[in-house]
Amino acid sequence: MINMSTYTNRDTQKIVTTQEIGRGGEGVVYQVAGRADVVAKIYHADHRTLSRQAKLTAMLTQPPVDRGRAFVPPHVALAWPTDLLFEQGAFAGFLMPRIERSPNLVALFNPVLRRQRFPQADYRFLCHTACNLAAVLAALHSRGHVVGDLNQKNILVKANTLVTLVDTDSFQIRDGVGHCYHCPVGVPDYTPPELQGQPLATLDRQPYHDCFGLAVLIFQLLMEGYHPFTGRPLTAALADVDQLSLHCMQQGWFPYSRNAQVQPPPAAPPFFWLPPEVRRLFLQTFLVGHLQPTQRPTAVTWAQALSRAEADLVQCRHQHTHWYGKHLTDCPICGPQPKVSTNVLPSAKATKPMSTASAAATKSQGGISGCLLSLLLMAGFCYGGVIILMLARNGLWPCLVPALLIMGLTPVIRQNLGPLTVRSCRLLATNLWRFWQWTWAFCRWLAPRIGQGGRAAYAFWRSRPPRVKELTMAALLIALLVTVSYCNSAPGRLNRASVTSPLPTPMMTSPLATPTTVLSDKE
């Protein structure tokens, strides 16, 4: 639709709008004649208020730093107003940079849409996009502004991981004298729990409120689009709760942490796939931040952590499109997947079993918890230590070799049998098979060398003169006699029974000494 209308800017220059390119509840966006770098947003008549004009004026006087403008080609990270438009002297709208048509964030974190719109996107792409989003939000917060209505639809993503925040005229803006122009709207899924149900139109929001929505968006990017508070109820009382994710958000029940109310969805990626630092920031946001909102990680902290996490990613040896954190031993996508639990609530409706989500933050699903397994291992260590001490005191040193071998393999056993899942059993079987292959290969390598060494030693012995042979045999016989004589004179060195269970020792007496009288308990 073409609308050839004429407006003026603050310098009374004429601005002519032409083709309509977008329409919303507040106004219409048009192309500008002779200008390919900007577009015009013209408000509907009922939205052309003095307060909106004052807010846009404050945005023009307090713009954030957009570092994307220095890129080649330049990138607009914030669709910030550049000028005001007037119609016959009355406020009508504003000019803003023209943004390249790009999909919003939903098309990236949704796996199905991502394969269609971003076929080249791998885990590095997702991590870098999340880092860029945090960096743009940090630049906005540095000027005292807050998005307020931070959600997946007002964030556009390009094929090079660069992001753009749009609908900036709805942001919460602070002018140079401390006046606040509020953001009147908000999406519940990205609004922090302390603001749920509050009058947003009159509420002064802070950067840590934005950081809650930022953490939700980063979680969705790194966890295949799952909302961090989407989970499976573990109690019958929660089975019929409407909007369970919002209820968990308000209660502070993070499904990927240890709790008795909810667990992650069965198909969600395990929480331990994320790098440790990123996991810690999520727990700080959703658990610590629930009680102390000011303790949520800032956008700068997120950007730095995600940059380090991206630098630590490892490429899969089998599938070059797979990337994973270096804290994992193998590619989690190529490796065997853990079996999900089959426990379902009797009264739950259309619920599915829950997978083992996090080895670090959730309980094991296999029957024996990690805490109980740790106690059993501690008891085994203590019992093994006592056995080793008894073997040592009785001189049975050869028996210590298998005992020490078992103690050395204990961490491997705990690592493989900890979750007691099919994946762990397969991993243990694989390790045992590899150990057997290595042992067999070592024996095959060692056997001919032992035979060769024995034959060389036998040939060397046969080539010695008879006198040398006689002296050698005599020396060995003398050494054997000395050893037997020493053992007979000091039997305690081979038999420690007198130490562990000493016999009553008689009192030493002599012709010149009188035995000491032993007092009884009665005396």
Per-residue confidence (pLDDT) for residue 424, from 0 to 100 = 67
Residues in the chain, total: 523
User: Rounded to whole angstroms, what are the CA distances from 292 to 49, 106, 252, 302?
Assistant: 37, 29, 11, 18
pLDDT at residue 372, rounded to an integer: 53
pLDDT value at position 494?
A: 41
CA distance 505 to 146: 87
pLDDT tens-place values along the chain, 523 residues long: 676 899 999 999 999 999 999 888 899 999 999 999 999 999 999 999 999 999 999 999 999 999 888 888 899 999 999 999 999 999 999 999 999 889 999 999 999 999 999 999 999 999 999 999 999 999 999 999 999 999 999 999 999 999 999 999 999 999 888 899 999 999 999 999 999 989 999 999 999 999 999 999 999 999 999 999 999 999 888 888 888 999 999 999 999 998 889 999 999 999 999 999 999 999 999 999 999 999 999 999 999 999 999 999 999 988 888 999 999 988 998 875 444 333 333 333 333 433 433 444 443 344 444 455 555 556 666 666 666 666 665 665 556 566 566 655 555 555 555 555 666 677 778 888 888 888 888 888 888 878 777 777 877 877 778 888 888 888 888 888 877 777 666 544 444 343 344 434 333 333 333 333 333 444 4
Q: How far is CA 67 from the centre of its chain?
A: 29
What region does 337 belong to: left with phi over 0, alpha with psi -120 to 50, or beta?
Answer: beta
The residues, ordered by sequence, that sit 6+ positions from 309 with a Cβ below 8 Å of its Cβ are: 127, 275, 277, 278, 325
| Other residues' Cβ atoms within 10 Å of the Cβ of residue 45 | 8
* Residues 340 and 322: beta-carbon distance below 8 Å: no
Distance CA 92, CA 98 (A): 19
- The whole-angstrom separation of Cα 21 and Cα 37 is 14
Which residues are annotated as catalytic? 149
**At what angle are helices 299-311 and 123-141 packed, to 10 degrees?**
160
| pLDDT given at position 97 | 95
pLDDT value of residue 64: 94
Helix (H, G, I), strand (E, B) or coil at 515: coil
User: For residue 6, what are the β-bridge partners?
Assistant: 16
For residue 507, what pLDDT is reported?
A: 37
Please give the pLDDT value at position 40. Answer: 95
CA distance 388 to 364: 32
